[in-house]
Structure 1
Amino acid sequence: MIKAQQQDIEVQHPPTDGISEIQFSPQADFLAASSWDNNVRIYEIQANGSSTAKAMYSHTAPALCCAWSKDGTKLASGGADKIGKLFDVSTGQSTQVAQHEAPIREVRWVDGPNPILATGSWDKTIKYWDTRQPTPISTIALPERLYAMDSVFPLLVAGTADRHVVIYNLNNPSTPFKQLTSPLKWQTRTIACFPGGNGYGIGSIEGRVAIQYVEDKDASMNFSFKCHRDGGQTLRDKASVYAVNCINWNPVHGTFSTAGADGGFAFWDKDSRQKLKTFPKVGSPISSTCFNRNGTIFAYAVSYDWNKGHTGATGQNQNKIMLHPVNEVDVKPRKRT
């Protein structure tokens, strides 16, 4: 049973299968959603929170990721069909712009004179594409299958199987700037670069997040913390531990959100190292989250996240996208207590 927050508003006509990623346009309140039903949808969100389905296009297998171009005119997506697609908002047409040997797990736009699309795959590569050309600009070998990737110029961070983390400086995008093992002991689930491009948050399946700065001189500011856990208050009482599925930065205040398989989400301040606000659990895993461009709406997808494997994928799983109106006091940084 999915419980909504009191004022949270449900997006109309949601995907019909698991929701893999949701992303707000950086230019307008258009919300994109990629889904296991093979489709990528775009919704227009009105000021009052009502939503209209604006567009939809398809992959030939589950769509696993999506990302808006900086100018908001195009939406890229990747899927289990091993193909990257580009949807043009003005024409309503989608075209193939990328190809891998295995499913594409992440797509991200990389800043530069011409916008470049980075696609990361389970084929253990990242490819950079000029979307006007049929062949990649370059192909980068990864140590393992890609599980998570994010980019804020000049930073791109990739997390793979076996807890590898590879950091690239996009001024020299084909050579790793740094390669390390995740500070978290278990499988990487999500990565989100700081708005300033000088570090990243990384979340794992064990209910833990690490805040990591890229430069060695800032290493003293690195830390990790537990979240998305129940119980464990006493020695006898074992904690239930849930995957951290998503980390997002508030574009105005630089604070961040986490959400997980426990169906909970919370807002945090990395600089004062404290939790700002915890919200009631929604009764089902949260698979993806995002803030809109001015940080006033926090969208979250309530959807099965495969944390219990195929046995958990029953016909009863609901798929919803909810819009939470952000109260500024919940996301503003606070002085360290």
Structure 2
Amino acid sequence: MFSTPGLNTTGTFGSTITSTTANPMKDFEVTSPPDDSVSSLAFSPATLPQNYLVAGSWDNHVRCWEVEQTGKTVPKSMQTMGGPVLDVCWSDDGTKVFMAGCDKQAKCWDLASNQTIQVAQHEAPIKTCHWIKGNNYSCLMTGSWDKTLKFWDTRTSQPMLTLQLPERCYCADVDFPMAVVGTANRGLIIYQLESRPQEFKKVESPLKYQLRCVAIFKDKKRVPTGFALGSVEGRVAIQYVNPTSPKENFTFKCHRTNGASGNFQDIYAVNDIAFHPIHGTLATVGSDGTFSFWDKDARTKLKPSETMEQSISRCAFSHNGQIFAYSVSYDWSKGHEFYNPMKKNYIFLRPCFEELKPRGGIS
């Protein structure tokens, strides 16, 4: 797919790794991780025969690795943005990666030519980018802190559609024909994408605190039917767009630990949520440095992890659900005084297919 080998634009990209105690789960360590906090992770789509992983970082770079069957990762290439990268996504055919960030731009990285071109522009940093593959159109959706959601035909410099948001975009997810956007002040909007994107309905957030992440889930017929929301207050909400009964919607606590005195809990932000593409179970990762696997239908935890050296900032599943990727890096949740520049950033890969099989129970 790449016409050139790894660029090695910094001396470290492609260098060997050293094993440390930072890997309590003994998972596969990704070679040459970013130099700053990892802001986004995305596996290549099923249209590619190989497995690639891209990661965006606060070090202004987007890196791409090939993930071999053995778990070994081979650095392939790297691109630079004009500021910290906040989100990345793949085109449906796997030929392009889109990158968005604090320089208020989104760029398209053509992997065959290894060239980038600007394809989107906002008045403030772009927090989210998602590729939409519709029945009659394809476009890039970008959500920004300028309180707009824009849709781009990447061949032209003007957006094909701009939608106003009630507040700054904090998180978003797309699974055609549905999109969900979470904003500051706990705003939550569902969009339908058939024929053209339009607002479907605004929803009151079931969570009392700031939204941090959102992920769409499908029903048994593989139709997008609801979403999971994570907040800074160690809580996840499962919400159906059209619940058949009010009991279908519920919230659960996670990423909490008992504090030093028995009456208090330490509560941590839920940094990311990902649904398993085959089983429909989910993973959450948090500021407490752990990940957990859950079965939302049986309302049970499938697996907790050991605690990492730092927060887990992002996670992603490979398209066939065989690999779980998670990034360990400081998320600034405790402020700058807890930032330790000596601590390395990590991305780990875990074989996960068996661990995420549902338990059964309520369907």
Q: Which TM bucket (shorter chain)?
A: over 0.9
What is the rounded CA distance, in whole Å, between the counterparts of 2:246 and 2:125 in structure 1? 34
What is the rounded CA distance, in whole Å, between the counterparts of 2:83 and 2:252 in structure 1? 36
Q: Deviations over 1:6-57 (max 9, x none)?
A: 4301111111111101111113410000011101111101111111111111
Map 1:74-223 to 2 at 5 A: 74-112=96-134, 113-171=136-194, 173-195=196-218, 196-223=223-250
What is the rounded CA distance, in whole Å, between the counterparts of 1:3 and 1:227 in structure 2? 22
Partner SS, residue 224 of structure 2: coil
- Would you say 1:229 and 2:256 are equivalent positions? yes
- Would you say 1:311 and 2:333 are equivalent positions? no
Q: Pick closer, same or farther for the CA change 1:69–1:301 going to 2, 3 Å.
A: same
Other-structure match for 1:15: 34
- Would you say 1:256 and 2:282 are equivalent positions? yes
- Per-residue deviation, 1:333: 0.9
Which among 260, 264, 267 is matched to residue 238 of structure 1? 264
What is the rounded CA distance, in whole Å, between the counterparts of 2:151 and 2:100 in structure 1? 13
Q: Which deviates more from structure 2 when the two are superposed, residues 6-15 or residues 60-69?
A: 6-15
Q: Pick closer, same or farther for the CA change 1:315–1:335 going to 2, 3 Å.
A: same
- Per-residue deviation, 1:253: 0.6
Q: Pick closer, same or farther for the CA change 1:254–1:229 going to 2, 3 Å.
A: same
Other-structure match for 1:26: 45
Query: Unaligned 5+ residue runs, structure 1?
Result: none
- Would you say 1:332 and 2:351 are equivalent positions? no
CA contact (8 A) 1:289 1:298 kept: yes
- Coordinate RMSD, CA, aligned: 1.7
Partner amino acid, structure 2, of 1:88: D
CA contact (8 A) 2:321 2:353 kept: no
- Per-residue deviation, 1:179: 0.7
Output the TM-score relative to the length of structure 1: 0.95
Partner SS, residue 203 of structure 2: strand
Partner SS, residue 181 of structure 1: coil
Partner amino acid, structure 2, of 1:117: L
Higher relative contact order (CA 8 A, sep 6+): 1
**Number of paired residues?**
335
- Per-residue deviation, 1:327: 4.8
What is the rounded CA distance, in whole Å, between the counterparts of 1:218 and 1:154 in structure 2? 23
- Per-residue deviation, 1:77: 0.9
What is the rounded CA distance, in whole Å, between the counterparts of 2:145 and 2:130 in structure 1? 15
- Per-residue deviation, 1:166: 0.6
- Per-residue deviation, 1:232: 6.4
What is the rounded CA distance, in whole Å, between the counterparts of 1:167 and 1:173 in structure 2? 14
Q: Deviations over 1:137-177 (max 9, x none)?
A: 01010000000000111110000000010110112655321
Output the TM-score relative to the length of structure 2: 0.89
Q: Percent identity?
A: 47
Q: Deviations over 1:198-229 (max 9, x none)?
A: 10000000000000001153543111000000
- Per-residue deviation, 1:309: 2.8
